[in-house]
Structure 1
Amino acid sequence: MSDLTETDYLVVGAGAAGMAFTDALLTHSDATVTIVDRRHAPGGHWIDAYPFVRLHQPSAFYGVDSVPLGQDAIDRSGLNAGFYELATADELRAYFARVMQQHFLASGRVRYFPGSDYGRDPTGRHHFTPALTGVTREVRVRRKLVDTTYLEGSIPATSAPPFAVADGVRCIAAGELTRIGDRPERFVIVGAGKTALDTCVWLLAQGVPAPAIRWIKPREGWWLNRRYHQPHTYLPDFYAGVGLQLQAMAEAASVEDVLLRLESDGFLLRVDTAVMPTMCHGAIISEAELGLLRKIEDVVRMGRVRRIERDRIVLDGGTVPTDAHTLHVHCAAQGLARPALRPIFEADRVTVQPCLWGFACYQFALLGVVEATIERDDDKNRLCPPIAYWDQPADYLSAYLAAMAGEQARAAFPALATWARDTRLNPLSGIGQQRDHPTVVETRERIKRFGGAAAGKLVKLLAATA
């Protein structure tokens, strides 16, 4: 090994999680941080994202706490018209690069090693190896390793299709759509997650007729309505969504009943109202996007694709024809990982995992604040117990219940309560400024009426699904 690097924290990963956590450490402690990342630039999966992707939540809620993202502008055209801006992949890459250069490195407390693979030898020593030099460098960590890769999943842009593809079959990842040289007669979209939704919406918005698109959907999903996830002037509607969720949870007779009630309220959306969703990943879409997606009538529901041959697509439950004039777009990947949970805070390690429902950057920054301001790991883990990334509808309810319990526990710690009240990453941090808005007043009464009952009912509903 070559020369030694010493640091208080060694953060593995320069994506949103590592950046938000590091920003919190810099703000709330005097720690030094070394960041190691295998990608060539900060930004995590945004470095590899398909060109037409946009953040599915408003820019105002994303990034690191100390550096705002975007201009807090309302889009005046397109499918997001009337709502606050959604950053593009290019904007996000530029944002994280600016945070790294002008905030982290400029502080003198951060060292950054891109294009490097992290490792740990049998004796427990940390090291990293830059891909271009191959020279391994040891890192002496005075406080903790921060692992942001434990739940790292796979995305179509960097993963091979999870099915066999015969020679001569045209099959590409979503990002390659912007570079195709000739126009296919038909498109087959494989996948049911957010990448597939974005791809279908982009094709339709580009003028591809709906009958030219076949959509292979292994599952139907629940999606959050963007109308209830807006900042600033629309924050009362966001707050109203909290009240609607608590009322639905308090009054429902089953997990499915909760979701159907929230669909009736317009809080949840699904593309096909004739199919009960079995997936709930927490992604946000607009009603305008939903309207486009519903134009696609050629939907195949035969499970997962096993292989694509020259003349047919073989699925779990049957086959459908294809041909040489069809372009197959693979939007299928593992997505977010769901390994066994482990304590987030340990003596020499922080394993970044979700601890509440939604809004990733808020909870990643929260973990950094907890690490910097709470002394004992037992207390930290009590305040932020890990939960698995949500996949099935019941996961949404268990995550929401965990969020309620965690919020109550953290309220007893003034430093955490103050930070949560003030940070821009907390979607509801500004609600106090609109306390007299009629919607806020009405929702506050709804929360008082149903909040306690919702928590108790969630425990019963989840127990019934175990």
Structure 2
Amino acid sequence: MRESLETDYLVIGTGAAGMAFTDTLLSHSDATVTLVDRRHTPGGHWIDAYPFVHLHQPSAFYGVSSVPLGRGAVNQTGINAGFHEAAGADELCAYYAQVMNQHFLPTGRVRHHPCSDYSVGSDGRHLITSRLTGDVQEVRVQRKLVDTGYLEGRIPATSPPPFEVAEGVRCVPAGDIVRVAERPDRYVIIGTGKTALDTCVWLLSQGVSASAIQWIRPREGWWLNRRFNQPGEGLPEFFAGIGLQFKAMAQATSVDDVFARLEADGFFLRVDTTVVPTMSRGAMVSEAELALLRQIGDVVRHGHVRRIERDRIVFDGHSIPTSPRTLHVHCAAVGLARPVPRPIFEADRVTLQPLFWSFACYPAALLGVVEATIADTDEKNRLCPPIRYWDEPRDYLSSYLALLAHERARAAYPEVNAWAKGTRLNPLSDLGVHRGHPLVTQTWGELKQYGGAAAANLVSLLR
């Protein structure tokens, strides 16, 4: 006979989105919550991340709203000296364990089921199965199931390469390069995204010669300049970056022109200025990191790798030589998933998805506030239409347009609006501290001058 339990909300997944949503749901309601995850501890993909990974954003803007992450420190050494701390995987896993054990569970309204799988029985009932004991519990959900995995992507650490690897070829995911026992003659980095950038920067920072690295880049990407995304004393420049975006969006004649203008302002960066990027996913790099990356001269642009043999790497219609003493580093997982958006709020379900251009945890936490404070499902969906994760340059513009629309609509809901303006997950929540700063004053003028034109021109550019 199945053991049963009852809960208001059943949250599937204890990664960043599920934890951020649960935090605000708890603080804005009296709901009971049961959290289920196949992993042994909260933290989601951070548990599987490569050991040298760090947030690409400051710690100050990440995590759950009610528990600060980090100490607000500025890096004194390293490639990102002068910028605010960005937590690594170990710190993030410890942070989420602390949130669960010291903030969620002590409320008496939260149950946590790690090492467990969620399923729906043949009778339509919610089931939790322990991976350790096989015990099955039936869960009676009084309000809603919260699905945090609809957009779950794949990472190299837990996904096989998206290409064939012949026997005898040395090919490892990014995280395994820290455990290499036999020094390779050279490294081949396969991938275009943030994992590939991090891997190249780490190797170069460890003294690996740029001439020993070959970088296979199927696409070129636009990257946010870390300098324009800092808290504390960096917030006036963060705000100035918003003014630069409004001006570019108001004056540009095409999507590419928006990026060209913002590159001229230093807001967007690219590794190779001779190649037009076809990717824009919102990750950050610093100008110091960029200088390191530009040292790598052996860049291959033949599209996606299809197969690695002992003596060659095969693309569609092309191949390049390799060797058994080369270490091929797989950084080419799909990453962020981009299925067709579905309504976030339904009668018996919440499906977490992005809402607008923003750091990841802020919109997930905002959805918890909306769920707790607005009763009507249609109205919640009107306020929070989902978008797909950004991938191409035009996605940046459409997601920014969604941000402008959301902020206008949100003004009708005082409780939601007050939370959004006050949470530390919103980078601009502390802007009032810098009210008299010349950059802030100047930027307010630019927003008034270009705001309306930017919104109208975005609609035109996206047609």
Matching residue of 2:48: 48
Q: Would you say how many aligned residue pairs link Structure 1 and Structure 2?
A: 463
Matching residue of 2:251: 251
2:112 is paired with a residue whose SS is strand
**Per-residue deviation, 1:122:** 3.7
Matching residue of 1:161: 161
Matching residue of 1:343: 343
1:341 is paired with a residue whose SS is coil
Matching residue of 2:188: 188
The 8 Å contact of residues 73 and 84 in structure 1, kept in 2 or not, is answered as yes
The answer to whether 1:308 aligns with 2:303 is: no
- Give the TM-score normalised by structure 2: 0.99
2:143 is paired with a residue whose SS is strand
1:314 is paired with a residue whose SS is strand
For residues 22-45 of structure 1, the C-alpha deviation after alignment (integer angstroms, 9 at most, x for no partner) is 000110000000000011110000
Name stretches of at least 5 consecutive residues in structure 2 with no aligned partner.
Answer: none
Could you list the runs of 4 or more consecutive aligned residues of structure 1 that deviate by over 6 angstroms after TM superposition? none
**Per-residue deviation, 1:433:** 1.9
1:395 is paired with a residue whose SS is helix
**Per-residue deviation, 1:358:** 2.4
The answer to whether 1:358 aligns with 2:362 is: no
CA–CA distance in structure 2, aligned partners of residues 380 and 168 of structure 1: 55
Superposition map of 1:449-460 within 5 A = 449-460=449-460
CA–CA distance in structure 2, aligned partners of residues 452 and 127 of structure 1: 50
What is the CA RMSD across the aligned residues, in angstroms?
0.7
CA–CA distance in structure 1, aligned partners of residues 273 and 33 of structure 2: 49
For residues 138-171 of structure 1, the C-alpha deviation after alignment (integer angstroms, 9 at most, x for no partner) is 1000000000000001000100001000000000
**Per-residue deviation, 1:106:** 1.2
Matching residue of 2:151: 151
For residues 269-317 of structure 1, the C-alpha deviation after alignment (integer angstroms, 9 at most, x for no partner) is 0000000000001001111100000000000000000000000000124
Name stretches of at least 5 consecutive residues in structure 1 with no aligned partner.
Answer: none
Matching residue of 1:384: 384
Superposition map of 1:253-292 within 5 A = 253-292=253-292
CA–CA distance in structure 1, aligned partners of residues 114 and 311 of structure 2: 44
Matching residue of 1:116: 116
- Give the TM-score normalised by structure 1: 0.99
**Per-residue deviation, 1:124:** 2.4
| Aligned partner letter, 2:253 | A
| Aligned partner letter, 2:321 | P
For residues 56-78 of structure 1, the C-alpha deviation after alignment (integer angstroms, 9 at most, x for no partner) is 10000000000000000000111
The 8 Å contact of residues 52 and 88 in structure 1, kept in 2 or not, is answered as yes
| Aligned partner letter, 1:331 | C
The 8 Å contact of residues 303 and 317 in structure 1, kept in 2 or not, is answered as no
CA–CA distance in structure 1, aligned partners of residues 414 and 245 of structure 2: 27
**Per-residue deviation, 1:120:** 1.0
CA–CA distance in structure 2, aligned partners of residues 80 and 117 of structure 1: 39
| Aligned partner letter, 1:453 | A
| Aligned partner letter, 1:323 | S
2:82 is paired with a residue whose SS is coil
Matching residue of 1:201: 201
CA–CA distance in structure 2, aligned partners of residues 221 and 316 of structure 1: 21
Matching residue of 1:100: 100
CA–CA distance in structure 2, aligned partners of residues 316 and 215 of structure 1: 17
The answer to whether 1:318 aligns with 2:318 is: yes
CA–CA distance in structure 2, aligned partners of residues 133 and 237 of structure 1: 53
For residues 229-260 of structure 1, the C-alpha deviation after alignment (integer angstroms, 9 at most, x for no partner) is 00111100000011100100000000000011
| Aligned partner letter, 1:148 | T
CA–CA distance in structure 2, aligned partners of residues 284 and 126 of structure 1: 40
| Aligned partner letter, 1:81 | A
Which is worse superposed, 97-106 or 115-124?
A: 115-124
2:429 is paired with a residue whose SS is coil
1:156 is paired with a residue whose SS is coil
CA–CA distance in structure 2, aligned partners of residues 173 and 269 of structure 1: 26
2:11 is paired with a residue whose SS is strand
| Aligned partner letter, 2:47 | I
The 8 Å contact of residues 9 and 34 in structure 1, kept in 2 or not, is answered as yes
The 8 Å contact of residues 185 and 326 in structure 1, kept in 2 or not, is answered as yes
CA–CA distance in structure 1, aligned partners of residues 400 and 125 of structure 2: 38
| Aligned partner letter, 1:234 | G
CA–CA distance in structure 2, aligned partners of residues 413 and 79 of structure 1: 43
CA–CA distance in structure 1, aligned partners of residues 255 and 153 of structure 2: 27
Matching residue of 2:70: 70
CA–CA distance in structure 1, aligned partners of residues 434 and 227 of structure 2: 18
The 8 Å contact of residues 240 and 440 in structure 1, kept in 2 or not, is answered as yes
Superposition map of 1:27-46 within 5 A = 27-46=27-46
**Per-residue deviation, 1:121:** 2.2
